[in-house]
Each structure stands twice: as structure tokens, then as C-alpha cells.
Structure 1
């Protein structure tokens, strides 16, 4: 157990994360990589085994790859072809682009993340339903009603308890947005004997999707035009089969439903991601129509962004304002996802009168520039964060973007030797400075931050045809985003902006 201390039944951690879904588990592991103590409190005694999601976007796949989680999921398949609002398009026009990893149920993702988090030393405490929180200037007290009342204290609390979050209300986060306008059904069924409709199929009565899950199971989604929201979480299988038949003319009444659920196009986003010692991430912070598998992926990216910043703040080396960049970077990304999912829902789930707009979208998507824009938006590969110390007309195009997963031939005598991929360099959640210039000044600057940044020297493997060569030198944040390249100001300025004072000047942290 990774407790700092225990006294009188009260256990202290640096961070308490509430919710053991993919976002909470990912965040907890990121925090442990950063060297702080973490407990995850989960209401359920055991994982539910249900999986609303069946995959994740290209950017989430890159983040999982950076931490070795992708390997834990076994063989995965990606799809080059996807859609925007039901209009097919090729997602591979962006380097590293694809429509996402498909066919990986959420319970498998949660299992892999839980195993990784526990190996790192996260205390995963199930059967703990949080009934009260008391934040103050020094930390947060958390009360659960597991068996007997338990009291936990932590320096920070992060709410990762999903779209129906109770912690969001307890902590005082507002949740503005729009209410549901339609209700849709989701089910896993056996014995359906239906053909796949991977990106969906429209009729005059609505839209259906279907995809084989293996072992005789199919995942179906049913969106009937005019179906108003009822507030239910689980309709009957008969209702779902009736709606499927009205849309397609096919009967699924003889199939066996393993589980049935309902969802809506409710669209909401908290106004702030932090209230003092309490932060929020994942579906607790944003809910939207699940178009393109963006929900889980958006939350995983929240976790990757927040984890190293919160750990740095606790350990005492974070530069001033670093934790505030969690909100300033992630809130606009979520707002953009909400816009694109609303647009896709309007385009795809509205009746026949939307057909002229769909036809125009087909014409637009024939243009490569439009495909790059929309695929970058849905995949998350076009995210660019502000680097305030290096702005202006001459700001290099790479700065603030994610580093594509290129290969480097190492020349620095590292024990691994040979070829190494960029995600392998990010395994430990530290900053990485990749230098192919051989300039001693780069190495000298990196040496002053050796406690938080790894220097890797080598030569880039040739870039694929039509792809821009990688920068000669590049500073990567722990989440894989580019914080400096030559021409973006002084390297020492970028190191200070993201990693604090150099080793000689920084204060001794709480756990150093």
C-alpha cells in the first residue's frame, strides 16, 4: 500500500482519485510515475464487465503506446477508413492517422490499466462510495461508507467518476451545456445473424450500426428518428428489437441480449477543471454524443496532461502556473470535441431533410485539405498547445504539437543501443530531449535538468515519403508534446518553463 502514513483510521495520500474507469486508472498510474502516492476509490466491489466503448482514437493509442499499455492489450487492429457524421473518409492523410483502434472492449482497457497501476504502487480500493468531501487550503478530506465510515485525507482530489458524477456536485463544479434531444439504444446480442454496418446505415426511419464482437456476439446501436429522451438507463430488449425492425425491416426478436443500455446527445462541459485542491477529468468534466470513440480518448488525454503536472506540483519542482495549464490546455480541446460531436449528430441522426447538407459534406470530403482538418479533429492528432515563451510569426510549425512516433538510431552509448522509437523513450513519464545535432551546448543545457529530463542522442531514421523530416533537436514534455525545437527561443528558457529551476537551483521536494 502506498500510504505515506496512517493514524487513527485516517490514511493520507498525496492524491485521491475517485473512479476506477480508464481515466481514473490512467491518471493514478501517471501520478505514480511522477513519484507521488495515490489511492483510487471505486464504488463498485468488482468491475462491471460491461463495455460501452469498443476502442479509442489514434491519439489515445499513441498515449497508451508511450506508456507500454498498448502492448498489454495484445494484438489490436486499426481502421484507415472512418467517417464524419456518416460520410466516409480516409484518416491516413495525417502522419500516424487512422480512425482508431477498434474491437477492444472497455473492460479490457480497464483491466490492463488496473494491472499497470497496481504494479506501480497505486492503492486500488474498491467498494468505497464517497459520501462527503471537505476541501480546504491544505488538502481534502474524503468520507466513504464502505461497511463502516472511512475517512481519507489527501493533498489533492481528482473527480473521475463519470458523466453522472456525484463528486462534481459535491465539489461545486458547474456543468453548463444542452440537454438531450434524442435517445438511442445500445446492446450486445447473441444469435442476431446480422451483417456488419461499421459506420452505420441510414433509412427513412433512422440509423443503425452493427459490428461483430466475436464468439457469436454483435454490438448494435439503434437511433430511431423522433425518439425523445426518457431518462432511462436501460430499456427492454423488446423495445430495442422493435425499433431495429421499424428502421431496417429485420427482426432481431429471437436474439438474446447480453445487456442493453440507452444513451443521449446531452452535451455539457464544466467551466473550470480545477477548484482549489479539487480537479476533474474525463466524463465527469465533459459529456457528449459518442461519435468516433472520442469520449474515452478525450479522458485518457486529460489524464496524461494532468498527471505529470500535478506530480510536479506536489514534489515541489513545478514552475509557477504549471498546474493551471491543465485547464487552459484541456478545456478548449474538450469544447472542440463537443462541437464536432454535435455537428456529427446533427448531420447523421437528423431525418431526410438533412440530405442536402450530407450531399455537400460528401463534396467537401472529396478535398484532401478538408479530410486532414476533420480527421485531425476526430483523431486528436491535430491538437496544438500554446507555448507562450516562443510565440510570433517565426514560431516553428512543430512547436506545441504531439511528436509523431518516429524512430531514432542511438549514438549515445545507451545500453539499449540500436534503433529506438519515440514512445519507448517516454515510458517513464519524464521529459526527453532528443538531440541529433551533436552540439555540446545542447548536452550541457540538458545536464542541468538531468533530474527530470533524459538526454538521448542519435540520428533520425529517414522520414517516410511525403513526410516532413523531424527537427534536429526536440524537447518533449512527459505527455509527448513538443516544448522546444531549434528556432523557438532558448532551450534553457523552455526547460525552465516546463520543468522548473535547474537541478542546482530548485528547492528540495517533499519526496526527493
Structure 2
């Protein structure tokens, strides 16, 4: 960028300005760019991140990346497909563990997914990948799009908005200033978000819930010296309390040690801390060491006019459960199609309001899920005392109780399938509403449902081909043994409104009719169900007007509340 203005309306001016090039900002830029939306992505750092802030893309995020054509690229860059992500606890890596939670490898999980016929599995399995690896990959993908411009070393310093757009002031690393005018601005600029602060939006929740000392280091010989197979997490319950996290190449590691609020980390020797905590004679190459503080916070609003928040600028969680980045990927997926619809003229005035109405409850829900996982860790850790290491009847009994508690409560961090897949946009003004009993969207156990607002459960059309794969980039009408006259009425109503609509006809599949609960389903680009019903009780005009935000459903709550 140079010092000139970038004016809205010019052929190369951005329609959307994205602030922050972490995984959420990059995913949003890719999703918008693939839809033909011109984006400018600015990031104050000079390059992509280098720290392992996250290590897991959950199945829902991998579904989203699959829709962007990135799932297999992410798998190729990430954790080995045949390595098991087991979770240990023990006094150190030099001593036998107290307990182990064993989990299937990615390859094993993919085999299970491929044969699942009841909708309980996602289209994609999870994928372990370090955040710095993911950011580098997403950065390359974003730069390759002609509609996306990525500018590292450029910082947002302020902005204002009016009825036509957002005026943003950008400063480069060498001090050059630019004015950018875009139709919309999305703040993906992290927990200290300047965008959120400028809007005056507060966080609600609990700040500074703990304090940890992170040591990120390279040590290719660690597994050999410990005599261990690959693992995901090793929870230390001994002289040191912390957790060792394997990174995707199994050569780099992240050690998090609990410290007091007033601990002076400048006095700590990170290499010695690694040796002392792990109980191994290692020579680690320390890549980073520093204190960090987790939070449980959600922004009170996700939108103010033409400015929106996504990712950590909208919510900050304790890492347990892996909900932080994955919730942000869901934000980007939700927002990308809505911005596209509005910018291309087929989205109505309620559509962007629905971003807060849909994603804020998910943000609050996932904050509770992260806290639930964290209290699980705290619960089993409270049973530790030095006696568990004694080879006495009392020591063996204490060790048994600790192992049993770990086996019960640690699972909260790794087995919240319902939290990942089962959320439903019950308060959405752009989804129809159904009465009667429905699965609990807050349950950690996933119960497939195609009720409006829910993510469409995955089902296979044939081996290797999912219903998800056949859905279009606009709206999709899924028709199961439905008269052509009915689908033609939907297509006609869509054409009148300029709404992109594909029809996916699957006849003779009674199993899908049973799983999805209707013969007609209107799917959004994010694969959430906007409406379902039968050909005898449908008004295509009403259905399309609600789901595109031209008008709200009659029983919709106030989306601005």
C-alpha cells in the first residue's frame, strides 16, 4: 500500500476491509475472495504468526475448510494421519503415567466417517495442525486469489463509518499513512481488538482466570528419550503442574506451566524449566518463552452498523476443549455468505443483523463449554498429592482414584462432539421456527437434527460423495421425491429476487427423508437449514424472503437486543 486513498467504487477498491490476518481473518478473506468479493486484509505484524496458539481443527471447521477446497491441503501440512492423539497424565515423562486416554488416529477416524450412515459423524474428521502451520497455508491461499490483497506490516489506527461505508486509517511499518474506504469492515484483530474498543463494545464474562508460563521449544529427540509413541497432550501432575502439547511435526513442543499471579518469569530459565518439568536430560532449542493469561469473555455485540467482529475480537476462551479458533472459523463461515449476499444485492436488511443473533449465542455457549472442560481438568487435579507416587497401599489407592477421575473428567476437553456439531440458530430472524421437542443444542453429545437453524447432518449419496458436497455456493433446495412443479416454483421465486438457488434432487432415498425429517429443505451456503417442510405447505416467496433477510419471520425476536 502507498499513501494514496483507496476509494470505494473504484474497480480495485476493497468492498470489505478485514483487520487481522490470523486464521479467522484469513479464512474470511478466502471465503469472500472465492465468492468474488474484493477484500483488503491488513495485519500489523510483518508476517504470519509463529506461535502454537491452537493445535486442532475440529470436524465442523474441517467441513468448512472442505467447502473452500482446503481440507486435504490442511491434512497434508498437519499432524501425521496415522499417529494417535492420546492424552496422558503422570508425574513426568521419565516415570510411568497414572492414566492414558486413547483416541483413534485421523486415518482411523476417516474410515469410521466413511461408513457412518446415521448422520452422527461429520463430513470431515478432525485434523491436528499447529496454528503457525495453518496460518502459513491460509496466507498462501489468500494471496493466490485475485480478489484478495494481503498487507502485512500495516496497522489500523482508526476508523469512522457513515451510511455508505467505513473510512479507515492505515499506517505501514515505515510510517506511511493511507485512507481506505470500504463498504464493510470486519475486526479479526484479537483480544485487544482496536476495532472493538473503537466501537465501545464491552466484553462480558471472567477475565484473567489463570496465569501460565509457555515455553515453545524444538526437541526432535524428545519422544525417543521418553520412550513414548506420539501423543497429543501430556498432563503433568507432580512437582510441576502443567501440560506438554506436541506440535504437528512431532519435533516442536509447547509446555505450559501453572504460575502464580505475581511470579516474575524473567527469573526463570526456560530450558531448565523444560528439563525439570519433563524429568528428561534434554537440550531444548527454546523458540519462545513468556507468561500468558486465559480469559472467558464474549463481546456484548458483534455488529455496529457497517463494522463487525469475528474470532477473538468477539470471544476469548480458555484453550481447553479447543473452542477458540474453531468458533472463530464458524464466525467467518457465517459472515462470508451474508456479506456476499448483501454486497451482490440479494440479501435484505435483516441478513447482517442475523450475524449477531446467530453467532453471539454460540459464542456464549462455547464459552460455557470451554469453562466446563477447564473445570473438568481442575476437578481431577485436585485429587493429586505427593502420596500418589508412594508404593504403599495408601499411595496405590490415591493413584487409582486420581486415574479414575482423570478418565472421567479429562474427557470433557476431548469429547464434546455435540458442542462442535449440534449448535442451532434458534434465535435467528432468517430461519423458520418449529415447535415441539428438538435435541438439546447445548448437549456435549451430538444428536443429528435437520431442524431449521441446525447444521445439516452429513449423509452419503454414494461412497465418497456426501450431500454436503453437492450443495451449491448460494442457496440449495434439497428435494427428496418432490414434484418438479414444486421445485420450479422455488426456482421462479428465486429468479424474481436475483437469489442464486440450486436444486439438489435425490429420489428414492427414504433414509434421507427419515434423517432430515422432511421432503424439502432449504440449505444456506454455510450448510445450516433455513427451512424444511412438504410441497403441500410451502410458499416459496415467504420462505425466500425470510431466509435472505428481506423480512423477518413473524415470531422473530428483536435481533438488535
Following superposition, the deviation at residue 167 of structure 1 comes to 2.4
Report whether the alignment pairs 1:228 with 2:261. Answer: yes
Q: Which has more strand, going by share of residues?
A: 1
- Relative distance call for 1:485 and 1:126 in structure 2 (3 A) is same
- Relative distance call for 1:101 and 1:221 in structure 2 (3 A) is farther
Q: 1:207 aligns with which of 242, 246, 251?
A: 242
Name the structure 1 match of 2:417.
375
Structure 1 contact 27–304 (Cα < 8 Å) conserved: yes
Report whether the alignment pairs 1:496 with 2:539. Answer: no
- Relative distance call for 1:201 and 1:162 in structure 2 (3 A) is same
What secondary structure is seen at the aligned counterpart in 2 of 1:187? Answer: strand
Structure 2 spans left out of the alignment, 5+ residues? 90-98, 110-115, 385-400, 440-448, 552-561
Please give the root-mean-square deviation of Cα atoms over the aligned residues, in Å: 4.1
> 1:9-408 to 2 correspondence within 5 Å?
12-75=13-76, 77=81, 88=101, 95-96=120-121, 101-118=126-143, 119=145, 121-146=147-172, 147=174, 148-180=176-208, 181-190=210-219, 191-192=221-222, 193-194=225-226, 195=228, 196-204=230-238, 205-211=240-246, 213-214=248-249, 217-224=251-258, 226-228=259-261, 239-252=269-282, 254-349=283-378, 352-353=381-382, 362=407, 374-377=416-419, 380-386=420-426, 389-393=432-436, 397-399=449-451, 400-408=453-461
Name the structure 1 match of 2:523.
476
What secondary structure is seen at the aligned counterpart in 2 of 1:129? Answer: strand
- Alpha-carbon distance in structure 1 between the residues aligned to 2:156 and 2:73: 30
What secondary structure is seen at the aligned counterpart in 1 of 2:432? Answer: helix
CA deviation map 1:122-164 (0-9, x unaligned): 1222221111112233321111122421110112111011223
- Alpha-carbon distance in structure 2 between the residues aligned to 1:393 and 1:484: 15
- Alpha-carbon distance in structure 2 between the residues aligned to 1:227 and 1:462: 59
- Relative distance call for 1:90 and 1:212 in structure 2 (3 A) is closer
- Alpha-carbon distance in structure 1 between the residues aligned to 2:195 and 2:23: 17
CA deviation map 1:446-473 (0-9, x unaligned): 3122541111223477969xx9477543
Name the structure 2 match of 1:421.
466
Structure 1-normalised TM-score?
0.80
Following superposition, the deviation at residue 279 of structure 1 comes to 0.7
What secondary structure is seen at the aligned counterpart in 1 of 2:455? Answer: coil
- Relative distance call for 1:442 and 1:7 in structure 2 (3 A) is closer
- Alpha-carbon distance in structure 1 between the residues aligned to 2:294 and 2:469: 38
CA deviation map 1:312-360 (0-9, x unaligned): 2233322342111111111111112212222322331468435689956
What secondary structure is seen at the aligned counterpart in 1 of 2:416? Answer: helix
- Alpha-carbon distance in structure 1 between the residues aligned to 2:20 and 2:342: 22
Structure 1 spans left out of the alignment, 5+ residues? 410-417, 503-512
Name the structure 2 match of 1:430.
474
